[in-house]
Amino acid sequence: MLRLAMTLALVLLPSLGFAQAPELAEAGKLTWGASVTFPPFEFADTGGKPIGFDIDFTDAVARRMGLQSTIMPIEFKGLIPALLGKRVDIIVSGMYINPQRLEVADLVPYLLVGNQIVVRAGNPKKIDGVATLCGKQVAAPVGTVFEVAAKQANDQCKAAGKPEVSLLLLPGTTNCALALTQERADAIIVSTATVAALMHETPGAYATGGAPFDTSTKVGIAVRKDNPALKVALDKAVQAIVADGTYATLIQKWNLPPASSAF
């Protein structure tokens, strides 16, 4: 069965010139995992359909590879296990590239982002930067870099002898934004791209709580280390949609800051 899948992949992928066929979970399909709770990368519309930059981006990449794009919604903390367990071929879920993830997977960069604090309109708690989160209730998506940033802020508060950050961990950025509007949280930490999406979709509901930080963070497509042919294929496909203008069009469509472009 594996040999048949590899043979079919070679037939389907001639335009990118592979010396070796990528291993796919299902022949003819690019099966990818995403946590559909992270606007503007991936989130559900009013009908429950996944939409967002990553959806359009991965569909475009799959087309370049001659494959059908097939999303598999998975809670964020389950994405890496699904990849390593070969349930999905790749992860495209606004996944930040960091040393810990690079230990278990290869990542193909496709965006640049930073982190930023978001508060309710009017900034009632007068939050201005990470140092002012001491004693505040901060919501963050579980298992993400935003959880790490909130915990680092808490460590800084403790080291300075200030009140600790009260951390509210929730599944996905969408739930964190809801907690903020419901006054269950004083602030959330999100990507700079998400800030733009929140401001665009709900004018007058949010404000920023300080300048962006960690602004050169790369977002990448995760692929198993034992599937190098797929990594090569993905990189070639990404370069192709950059060259033909598709990538720039999607940056504009989803209101990502121009600085989000990794190319």
Q: What is the pLDDT of residues 14-66, one digit of tens each?
A: 444 545 789 999 999 999 999 998 999 999 999 999 999 999 999 999 999 99
Q: What is the pLDDT of residues 206-220, one digit of tens each?
A: 999 999 988 888 999
Residues 80 and 93 reside in one and the same domain: yes
Tell me, what amino acid is at 237?
A
pLDDT at residue number 214: 86
Judging by DSSP bridges, how do beta strands 206-208 and 106-120 pair with one another?
antiparallel
Residues 152 and 241 reside in one and the same domain: no
Q: What is the pLDDT of residues 177-212, one digit of tens each?
A: 999 999 999 999 999 989 988 888 889 999 999 999
CATH number, position 21: 3.40.190.10
Judging by DSSP bridges, how do beta strands 50-51 and 90-91 pair with one another?
unpaired
Q: Which residue has the tokens 């592979």?
A: 18
Residues 72 and 145 reside in one and the same domain: no
Domain total of the chain:
2
Residues 71 and 156 reside in one and the same domain: no
Residues 249 and 201 reside in one and the same domain: no
Dist. CA 198–CA 178, nearest whole Å: 11
Residues 19 and 108 reside in one and the same domain: yes
pLDDT at residue number 19: 55
Residues 43 and 131 reside in one and the same domain: no
Distances (CA, A) of 73 to 20, 82, 96, 250: 29, 11, 18, 21
Which residue range is the domain that position 185 belongs to?
114-215
Residues 123 and 93 reside in one and the same domain: no
Got the DSSP string for 37-48?
-BTTTBEE-TTS
Residues 85 and 133 reside in one and the same domain: no
Residues 141 and 102 reside in one and the same domain: no
Q: What is the pLDDT of residues 93-135, one digit of tens each?
A: 999 999 999 999 999 999 999 999 999 999 999 999 999 999 9
40 upstream amide cis, omega within 30 of 0: yes
Residues 60 and 137 reside in one and the same domain: no
Q: What is the pLDDT of residues 224-254, one digit of tens each?
A: 999 999 999 999 999 999 999 999 999 999 9
Residues 7 and 119 reside in one and the same domain: no
Q: Reduce the secondary structure of 48-105 to three states and give it as a string.
A: CCEECHHHHHHHHHHHHCCCEEEEEECCHHHHHHHHHCCCCCEECCCCECCHHHHHHC
